[in-house]
Amino acid sequence: MNTHDTSRSAPPATFSSPESHDDQSFDQESFLGQAHAILGKKGLIIDDEAIDPWLTDWRGRYTGRALALAQPADTAELSRLVALCASNGVPVVPQGGNSGMVGGATPDASGHSLLLSTRRMTALHVDADTMTARCGAGVILQTLHEAAAARQLRFPLSLGGKGSATIGGLVSTNAGGTQVLRHGVMRAQILGLEIVLPDGRVLDLSAPLKKDNRGFDLKQLWIGSEGTLGVVSTAVLQLCPAVAERRVVWAGVGDLDAARRLLLHNQHALDDVLEGFEVLPQACLDHVVDFLPDAQRPLEQPHAWHVLLECVADASGAAALGERVEEAMMTAFEDGLVEDAVIAANETQAEAFWQLRESISPAEKARGPAVQHDISVPVAAMPAFLQAVTDQIEKNYAGHEVLGFGHLGDGNIHLHVIAPPGAEAIEWEQRSGKAISAEVYEMVTQWSGSISAEHGIGQDKREMLYATRDPVALDVMKAVKHALDPKELMNPGKLL
């Protein structure tokens, strides 16, 4: 049964809640007075100038207005505040580090919403004995990394925004990053959650039970729901032993399918230590080398595709790591999977390899306007998909360059389509960029893929979600949303 054939709908208006305080009876002064009584002076900011920085997302693409900025200190305050909003019909927009990619933490322009920051909820307890961390929603990712490292442990999820991203935001967006291949996305690190429901009640699912078959695993609903079902107040996370040794390898391969076969080879040979597997085409590497003043090419000859792979071991596996990686790469070479490869001789070289990878985005940005797509398809289909999408876009849009790179091991690539040289950014984006994106997302959907592998939907991709997603799945999402937030007060206009 192909449900994709049924008709698709446009999303409802951004701010449509019939029960919100859009009516005459709402007494703003009284509401703020009650909020102040719950939160105190530090917890409720009404001064426009102080709120202003939090009303625009970090990339400057979305701006909104808010009644006030609430900053509860703990779950008890948060619970009372959300209950107050529910009884007054005040929409709530949760915000963590304000470092999301899709405008998910920016309120709409109505000014009716309360902006709710978790930044003061920073309780953090690392238990070395059980290798777990109990984190308030406002704990910053880097703070957790440091707290874990101080106990010879680590939290195996990292991303560019680690200096500002909060645990609550990472849970609510089901964040990814560069260690997903081995450790999984945020969902896989979560042992327990405490949630404040849209009516203000606390749903405590924070006991770290490895097995619990008392029906639906409720906490899963709040992971990746972007604040639309309530507010994550506390997370209990799994830690793992600290890294004792790593090996970083740069390999050249003949095509993307060879890269995929190298991945499979290493998943067999290095199953328990293979942590990252990134790919980029030769053109990406050329752009990076042009962009970075002192960049060295890891390999002498050009190759159609390049692979950056990282293996890490904790203390127990450190001694064997080097030999295992060498042997795996040797057999890959003998099997004809790689054309050439080099293992970083030291940490400096390893860092240099990673710098090439991390410079792809700024290097592309320097080349002119582009549209970017954070997409996934089943890993096995990625080589054929990338060929098909490149052929179609380059045929339909002459002079454009299509570049795919990123997390092949996760079936997740960043697909950039770069405007012809000399194109004027705003005009090009309106004339071609939007149409190109629509075509890319339509192809991703045909290939059973996702239009948002890592970044979420937020405001940014809401229309595209409605345009591409199976209507049955959308119906189920709406039914769940309506069941848990019937007044539609939680982060309205995001996701659904």
Q: What is the DSSP letter of 490?
A: B
Contact between 243 and a second copy by CB under 8 A: the answer reads no
Contact between 452 and a second copy by CB under 8 A: the answer reads yes
DSSP strands (E only) in 351-484? 370-376, 401-407, 412-418
Number of residues that bind a second copy (CB under 8 A): 93
**In terms of CB distance, is 311 or 417 closer to a second copy?**
311
Contact between 150 and a second copy by CB under 8 A: the answer reads no
Phi, psi of 70 (to 5 degrees): -100, 135
Nearest approach in angstroms of CB 197 to a second copy is: 7
Dist CA 173 CA 208 (whole Å): 21
468 Cβ partners below 8 Å, 6+ apart? 8, 441, 442, 444, 445, 451
Name the segment binding a second copy (CB under 8 A); options: 200-208, 287-295, 298-306, 334-342: 200-208
From the list 5, 25, 49, 210, which residue makes contact with a second copy (rule: CB under 8 A)? 210
**In terms of CB distance, is 135 or 328 closer to a second copy?**
328
Nearest approach in angstroms of CB 3 to a second copy is: 6
Nearest approach in angstroms of CB 438 to a second copy is: 16
Task: Show contacts with a second copy in window 407-436 (CB under 8 A).
Answer: 407, 409-412
Helical segments of 409-453, H only: 425-428, 434-446
Task: Show contacts with a second copy in window 314-343 (CB under 8 A).
Answer: 314-317, 320, 324, 328
End-to-end CA distance of the chain: 25
Dist CA 115 CA 62 (whole Å): 14
Q: Between β-strands 132-136 and 153-154, what pairing exists: parallel, antiparallel or unpaired? A: unpaired
From the list 223, 248, 280, 312, which residue makes contact with a second copy (rule: CB under 8 A)? 223
From the list 159, 269, 289, 299, which residue makes contact with a second copy (rule: CB under 8 A)? 269
Dist CA 417 CA 404 (whole Å): 9
From the list 106, 174, 372, 432, which residue makes contact with a second copy (rule: CB under 8 A)? 174
**How many Cα atoms are found within 13 Å in the side-chain-facing hemisphere of 209?**
10
From the list 17, 88, 106, 225, which residue makes contact with a second copy (rule: CB under 8 A)? 225
**In terms of CB distance, is 296 or 446 closer to a second copy?**
446
From the list 204, 424, 427, 463, which residue makes contact with a second copy (rule: CB under 8 A)? 204
Task: Show contacts with a second copy in window 343-382 (CB under 8 A).
Answer: 376-380
- As a whole number of angstroms, the longest Cα–Cα distance in the chain is 77
Three-state SS at 67: coil
Nearest approach in angstroms of CB 359 to a second copy is: 23
The DSSP H or E segment spanning 204 is strand 202-205
Nearest approach in angstroms of CB 412 to a second copy is: 5
